[in-house]
Each structure stands twice: as C-alpha cells, then as structure tokens.
Structure 1
Amino acid sequence: MRKRWPSSWMPPLRRSMIWRPSSSARFTAAHSLSAGFSMSAVSSNAGFVIAASIAAAWAATVARRRSRAGGAMLSGRREEASMEPLGVVLTAGLGTRLRPLTPATPKPLVPLLNRPLIAYALDLMRDLGLGEVVVVTGPDDDRTREYVEAQAPPDLRVSAAVQRHPRGPGDAVASVGDALDGRTVVVLAVDTVLAGVDPRLLDGFEASGATAGLLLQSVEDPRAFGVAVLDGDRVVDLEEKPELPRSDLALVGLWVLAPAAVERVRTDPYINARGESDLTATVGAMLAEGHDVRGWLLGGEWLDGGTIDGLLHAQSRLLARAADEIAVAPRTLVTDSALHAPVRIGEAARVEASDLAETVVGPGATLEGVTLRRALVAPGATLRGGEYADVVVTAAGEVCGPGTEA
C-alpha cells in the first residue's frame, strides 16, 4: 500500500485511511499485544472468536479477585486489599544499552509505536487481573513518576517507589517497602514487552502453592539468559547465563513470588559478584533448598525493548500486525511526501519532501527531505536530509542503530 500526499495539510478524510475496529476487536488488539493499536487481522471471524475467549478469561480473572477482596479493588483502600497480589515494575536501571536515546529520555519513557515502554507494562499487569502496581524508579526519574500518576489505566491503582542506589533487581523489589507485606508479587522488567500471556497465570500460581514462578520461552541461544530446566511445570534446575545450557528455556523477565519468596528477597537475598541483589539467583537458592518453583511457557511473543536493536525489532514485529495501515495523528502536516504502509506519524509532527516506509514518527518531530526505512523517530526529533534504514533518530537528531554501522 502506498499513498502520496500533495503539498497541503493532511485532508480531513485521513480517518478513512485507518481501519478502525469495533470495540470487541479493539479489546483483542490491546489485550494480545498490550499495545492498543488497530490491526486489520482481527476483523476475521476467527479473530472475534479469539477476542471473545480472551475477554471472558480476563473478565473472569478480575471478577474472582474483586470477589475475594470483598470489593477492595474498587474501594482503593490498601488496608482492605492488603492480601491481594501486587504488581511491581522495575524501571530503575540506567538504560545504558539504549543510549543515545537514554539518558535524555528515561528508559521507561522510551517510545515503542509512540507509547512509552511503561504503558505496555501497566497494560500487562492489568490484564493479569492486578488492581495495584508499584513502579520502582531511580532517584532522579521524576518524569516517569509523573507519567504513571497521570496516565495509568483508570482501573489500576499505581504508585511509585524509589530505588536509591542501583543494587540489582532484588533490591528494587525490596525498595517497595511495607506494601509487600504478606502479598504475592508479580515482578516485571519494564523493557520486557510480552504478547499472549495467559490471564489465568496468577490464579494458577496461587492454586499451586508454589514459592515462585517463572515465565519462560524457548530461544536459539540461551547462553545470554537465565535458563530453567522443567519437569512438567516444575523447575528442577536454574542457571544464570550458562556456558553449556541444559535447556533452551530462557527467563523472559517476569517473576511471580509468593510471600515467603518476597520475604527472602527482602531479608536474605543472593548477592552476586557485582554486589547486587540478584532476583533470579535468590529464587535459584530457594529451589536448591527444596522450595517449589514453577515454570510456564509463553505461548505468545517476547519482545526486548532494552536495546536499540531490540527496540527496532519490536517495532517491526508490532507494525507487522497492521501491515496495511498508514496512521496520521491530528494536527500533523505532511507535504510532498510518500508514505508506504505501515507508517505511524504522531500528533503535531511535520513531514516534508520525505519518503517513509515501516517507520514510526514521534509527536512533534520534523522530517525534511529524508528517506527512512524501518526507522523510529523520537518525539521532538528534527532530521533534515539523508537516506537511512534500520535506525533510531533521537530527540537531539542523532542517528544511531544497526543501519549506521560500517
């Protein structure tokens, strides 16, 4: 699909260029991808069957949790909901693998399809039936704290905690403090974007009586990850970045901890050679002591938003779900330019004499005389001239990524 726009403001009919699904189909897209973007694939009859089954499972999960809490999820009073599971999103890392997008943009606010990574994490927590989430930030990250307070999903209570020093993921969990008391905790790394997580996962974990649970996926080369060995759904071995892996099942960055495991992370964690509280190794130590640890295979997709290459790959995978879509936000000016689907352009952006394909342009960005293929343009960026592929354009106009390598 290709559209060429003359020198003028985008026409009012631009809405007709974007397929807009029914409310049922929108739920499918938002749930299965935690992204909330329209995609034509769900217009098929099969898509609506899937939407119905996912919607029913999710609604049933939330209803069960609200019933057990006696309405606590609706009341918003922590004392009534103190035994309800808690979500914790880890965001306090320095984001060095995302430079130069970071540190000017905090890692949780790095955009993916013009949504910050933290938005995907909050969506997943909600889809698991959680009613309360704590986002752990670094001491100087006021922007993320302001975002979650203002932009959290309306059916999710979200607060922020601060990890004062970068002492590992276990320390980040412990920094949540008294809100952890007596609760099962779902921990998610903010740069982990997951599709297809079973909304009944948390109910199954609680019913099992296990101490901890890990979400896993088969990978070609597991040596860069924590690796689990399963016997059924029980983890029988857990290694961190093994040279000779005993399985290909990698930890994807979602941990479920029963209260006993939470207390262990707070009071007696495994401290690694870097002096950090290692969350996975602490679970591994409990496994070695005979505790019951469960593992679940992710049937959907695991996308890595923690590196420049990973971010571009994640964008390509999500854009592929809307391969025929050209989505242009309001107050955007596109003149003398060719747009080849899929393309997304954020609000108040300006694109002049440019040629774009498989590209996402952030709000307020300016492109003049450029050709971009498989590119991510950060909000507010300005780029004039040049031909690029497989790149990220930062807010400062710096071009980086695999497409710039010699």
Structure 2
Amino acid sequence: KQLVPVANKPVLFYGIEAIAEAGITDIGIVVGDTQAEIRAAVGDGSRWGVTVQYIEQDAPRGLAHAVKISRDYIGNEPFVMYLGDNLLNKGITQFVREFEAQKPAAQILLTRVPDPQMFGVAQLENGKVVRLVEKPKEPIGDLALVGVYMFGPDVFESVNRITPSVRNELEITDAIQDLIDRGLTVRPHIVEGWWKDTGKLEDMLEANRLILDTLERRIEGDVDAESRVEGQVVIEKGAVVERSIIRGPAIIGHGARIVHAYVGPFTSIGNEVEIKDTEVEHSIVLEGACLRDLANRVIDSLIGRNVRIWREPVKPSAYRFMLGDNSEVGIRW
C-alpha cells in the first residue's frame, strides 16, 4: 500500500521527500515481502539527493523489531522513524529541529482525533509524555500517535527489554513506555495541519482529495476543441483528452486517453489509463487501467494497475468478476 499513488505519486515518496527536506540524507528502508517492488520504485534515492539502503525483516514482527534490526545501520546516531503509509502536509522539518535542540530520549508526533479509542494515545503532564495507551477503552485524552517518531540511542535498550504483545509483535508504544519508566524524557510535538494514515480506502481517497486541492493548473497534454477543462487540473505531457469534460481538482497522467468521458473532482488518473464513454469522480485509477462504456458513474473507488472494466451488451444479463485477494465490489440493487 505504500506504493499506491496519491495524486499520481506513491505514498512512500511523500515520506522520502519530507525526510530529505528536513536535511536527512541517509535513509534505511525496512522491507519484507514486497521488497522487490519497493527497491524497483525507490532505487538508491539519488533522485531525492539521499542515499537509501534496505534492511530486510523476515516477517512483520512489529515496529520496535524494525528498530531493533536497524541497530547496525543506525549506530548511536539519533534517527527519525517514519511509517511509509503516512502523509503529513506540513512535513517534519520543525519536528526534527525541535529534537535537535532539546535532545530528549524520544520525541513523538501527536494529533487530536475525534475517536481516540481507535489509536495509540499519549497522556501529557507538564509538557512531557507520561503514559501511552494503545486503543484505550477509558478516555485519557484525544492526542493520538502519528506514525513519525524521533529517537536517541537509549531506545535500543528499550526494544531489547520489552516482550512481544498479544499479537506477537514488539510494539513501539511499549518501547516508548519503557523509556518513560526508566525516567528518560519523551517529548510531544503536536501536528500542525492534516495527517493521514492511508491504510484504508477512505483515508487514501481523503489524502488524494487534500493533495489534489493544492495543485496548480498545468495543461501539457493534448486537449481538443470539443473538450472542457475546468479548475485546478494537471494534464501531463502525452495525455490526450477528446470530447470530454475534466473538472478539477484532478490530475491526468502521461499517456492517458480520455475520450467522450467525464472526469470529476478529486480524481487521479494514472499513466497510460484509458477512460472512454465513462464517468469517474472522487477516485484513484492506477497505471494501465481501462474503463469503457460504463452506464453508471464510478465514484469513491480505487482501481488497480491494468484493471479492465467494461460493459458487455450480451444476454443474459449477469455479473462476471475476476477479483484478487481482499477485493471489494459494491453492487447497486
């Protein structure tokens, strides 16, 4: 999911950009089953002016385990841990500068949420974190942990002291609590602006909406005279728009073909996508997908790479699917 594009850029790339903008030039990416795809997408990091190395984790054993296996790479240097499926619109530069100035054992990023029972929550006293509770049943506050942390070398002792949780993982919240229990300072930093964990479709679409809303209009593809392009729209070089309406905020990737179609607000159309005789809105359509001749508008959807969706004028009328693992399909009735 870290490689799913939001506004036609993989979620992971936003994190790498934020790290690079904060002046950090050495990045270790902990990888597992999807390491081949991540290595292919990220490479050596040179396009961002950073050096990327890959740290292999044999199984998903928890965030604290990811810290533990990174000890040889990190040494005794302070470091940022940035979860690859998180998006922050204000970056982490100020967060890093505060850590450098204060030099606590750890600094955690927090944001106020309406449903703290769904998150790890921090309890503060006198500007310091005194307790962390994972998905509290009884309210202790509304400050949830965001997936960005900074640590000094003391955390390595903590990740070695803790034991696996009920889900058999070494939890980063337990490691941070161990720092607190040992009398070390854990500082909070409250997020300014929005934060999104893109683990669910709804959050991914919301992140897509928020980022598209920041785009500046740029038309580099071919748009014929019968088409209308309205508002904040990016049409990349090599894209073709014929007899269609594009209503922003929206982005159309290079090589895409939009023919006799409607692309509505908050939609990202990937590279080499074809949309023909179809309406799509508030959706993400990945590279190489094809949507043709659909009778109803496609909304609130994530369409994967090289997916083909079309309407067949054959009888008897029936649904035919070929769906991958964990797919979801909504049918009107």
Normalised by the length of structure 2, the TM-score is 0.84
SS at match of 1:284: helix
Which stretch shifts more, 385-394 or 319-328?
Answer: 319-328
- Which whole-Å CA distance do the structure 1 matches of 2:184 and 2:302 have between them? 44
3-state secondary structure, aligned to 1:237: strand
More deviation, 316-325/285-294: 316-325
Partner of 2:26 in structure 1?
132
Which residue identity does 2:262 align to in structure 1?
Answer: D
What's the counterpart of residue 277 of structure 2? 369
Aligned with 1:384 (options 277, 292, 306):
292
Highest RCO, 1 vs 2 (Cα 8 Å, sep ≥ 6): 1
Q: Distance in 2 between matches of 1:199 and 1:340?
A: 34
1:145-224 alignment runs, 5 A limit: 145-150=39-44, 152-197=46-91, 199-224=93-118
Does the Cα contact within 8 Å between 1:197 and 1:298 map onto a contact in 2? no
Secondary structure class of the residue paired with 1:321: coil
Runs of 4+ off more than 3 Å: 150-154, 398-406
2:178 corresponds, among 285, 288, 299, to 285
Supply the distance in 1 between the matched residues of 2:268 and 2:67 (Cα, whole angstroms). 33
Distance, in Å, in 2 between the alignment partners of 1:151 and 1:209 is 28
> Match of 2:307?
397
Aligned residue in 1 for 2:258 = 351
Matched AA of 1:304? D
Alignment map for 1:66-81 (pairs within 5 Å):
none
Query: Aligned partners of 1:278, 1:244: CA distance in 2, in Å?
Result: 20
The corresponding residue for 1:141 is 35
Q: Is the contact between residue 377 and residue 394 of structure 1 (CA under 8 Å) also seen in structure 2?
A: yes
For 1:3-43, what per-residue CA distance to the aligned partner results, in whole angstroms no more than 9, with x for missing partners?
xxxxxxxxxxxxxxxxxxxxxxxxxxxxxxxxxxxxxxxxx
TM-score (norm 1): 0.69
Aligned match of 1:25: none
Structure 1 residue aligned with 2:320: none
Q: What's 2:146 paired with?
A: 252
Which of residues 205, 228, 237 in structure 2 aligns to 1:312? 205
Alignment partners' CA distance in 2, 1:121 and 1:401? 28
Aligned to 2:226: none
Q: CA RMSD in A?
A: 2.1
Are the aligned partners of 2:44 and 2:51 in contact in 1 as well (CA < 8 Å)? no
For residues 405 and 294 of structure 1, the distance between their equivalents in structure 2, rounded to whole angstroms, comes to 50
After superposition, the Cα gap between the structure-2 partners of 1:247 and 1:152, relative to the gap in structure 1 and judged at 3 Å, is farther
Aligned in 2, Cα 1:150/1:182: closer, same or farther, shift over 3 Å? closer
The unaligned stretches of length 5 or more in structure 2 are 217-230, 310-326
Q: Could you say if the C-alpha distance between residues 402 and 242 of structure 1 is closer, same or farther in structure 2, counting changes exceeding 3 Å?
A: farther
Kindly indicate which of the two structures has a greater share of residues assigned to helix: 1
Residue 340, structure 1, aligned to residue 247, structure 2: yes
Task: Mark the CA change 1:150 to 1:261 in structure 2 (over 3 Å): closer, same or farther.
Answer: closer
Q: 1:397 to 1:405 in 2, by over 3 A?
A: farther
Contact 2:22 2:96 in 1 (8 A): yes
**CA-to-aligned-CA distance 1:328-377 (integer Å, 9 cap, x gap):** 11111221211112221101111111101121100011111111111110
Q: Distance in 2 between matches of 1:189 and 1:339?
A: 34
Given that residues 239 and 284 in structure 1 are in contact (C-alpha distance below 8 angstroms), is that contact kept between their aligned partners in structure 2? no
Q: 1:278 to 1:398 in 2, by over 3 A?
A: farther
- Structure 1: give runs of 5+ residues left out of the alignment: 1-106
For 2:268, the equivalent position in structure 1 comes to: 360
The residue type equivalent to 2:38 in the other structure is T
Structure 1 residues 177 and 404: alpha-carbon distance in aligned structure 2, compared to 1, 3 A threshold:
farther
Cα deviation, residue 147, structure 1: 2.1
State whether structure 2 residue 192 is matched by structure 1 residue 299.
Answer: yes
The reply to whether residue 321 of structure 1 matches residue 214 of structure 2 is yes
The amino acid across from 1:364 in the alignment is: E
